[in-house]
A and B are shown apart, each in its own frame.
Chain A
Amino acid sequence: SQQGEEDPQALSIQEGENATMNCSYKTSINNLQWYRQNSGRGLVHLILIRSNEREKHSGRLRVTLDTSKKSSSLLITASRAADTASYFCATVSYNYGQNFVFGPGTRLSVLP
């Protein structure tokens, strides 16, 4: 399976702190995407990083990709209570018919 795996599975921090979530995967990929899901609702796309990119920024989000280690990290800086959600990485690989596979996710709780 090419499924990504997030680490940690759950993370609890105080408002204002930074949150780092990691994602590992098993096969070569075309791109890796991060999504956020508030409880029981649809997913929201956060950022996409292509296999030839190493780092991308979007507002308070920073994503890195290390294809040699088959891993990615999502950093949320200066976290807010509104950042409380589940965060999923998703990988796409042409070798797997362009299937879109989500990792198990990290449940982030930001305490006020």
Chain B
Amino acid sequence: DTEVTQTPKHLVMGMTNKKSLKCEQHMGHRAMYWYKQKAKKPPELMFVYSYEKLSINESVPSRFSPECPNSSLLNLHLHALQPEDSALYLCASSQGLAGASHEQYFGPGTRLTVT
């Protein structure tokens, strides 16, 4: 199984809502990533988890809160978002960290719209 799954596929939320994005992989990968991608732009790294510990936080606002409950799951909790946070949120995993020459496997993404 070389698949990374993400739920939901689409999410519309108001600025006062609290929601969560979920990501799951069963490849035994020990690194997991969250990216944000705006239209016609490249993905921007948000967070990296390595062995279930947060190893990189790219100065992401606190309204985004990541969580790695176990080695297969990665969540992104959303609270008090702004309309400019509307984007495609991509999850990825890799056997080890990308710096050790490991390719990343991406999920299909969650299309988030903040109203």
Interface residues of A (CB under 8 A from B): 30-31, 33, 35, 40-45, 48, 50, 88, 90, 92-94, 97-105, 107
In whole angstroms, how far apart are the Cα atoms of A103 and B44 in the complex?
10
B36-51 contacts to A, CB under 8 A, are: 40-45, 48
Contact of A100 among B41, B45, B88, B111 (CB under 8 A): B45
* Chain B count of residues within 8 A CB distance of the other chain: 27
Complex A-B: 22 CB contacts under 8 Å: A31-B98, A31-B101, A33-B103, A33-B104, A40-B111, A41-B109, A42-B4, A42-B107, A43-B104, A45-B104, A45-B105, A88-B42, A92-B101, A94-B99, A99-B45, A100-B48, A100-B98, A100-B104, A101-B45, A102-B42, A102-B44, A107-B40
B11 at the interface (CB under 8 A from A): no
B45 near A41: Cβ-Cβ < 8 Å: no
A97 near B56: Cβ-Cβ < 8 Å: yes
B76 at the interface (CB under 8 A from A): no
A5 to chain B, nearest CB (A): 10
Chain B positions within 8 Å of A93 at CB level: 99
B94 to chain A, nearest CB (A): 9
A98 near B88: Cβ-Cβ < 8 Å: no
A105 to chain B, nearest CB (A): 5
A41 to chain B, nearest CB (A): 6
B32 to chain A, nearest CB (A): 12
Chain B positions within 8 Å of A48 at CB level: 101, 103
A94 to chain B, nearest CB (A): 6
A30 near B56: Cβ-Cβ < 8 Å: no
Chain A positions within 8 Å of B90 at CB level: 42-43
B3 to chain A, nearest CB (A): 10
B42 near A105: Cβ-Cβ < 8 Å: yes
B76-106 contacts to A, CB under 8 A, are: 88, 90, 92, 97-101, 103-106
In whole angstroms, how far apart are the Cα atoms of A93 and B100 in the complex?
10
In whole angstroms, how far apart are the Cα atoms of A44 and B3 in the complex?
11
B99 near A98: Cβ-Cβ < 8 Å: yes
In the complex, residue of chain B having the shortest beta-carbon distance to the beta carbon of A105: B42
Chain A positions within 8 Å of B45 at CB level: 99-101
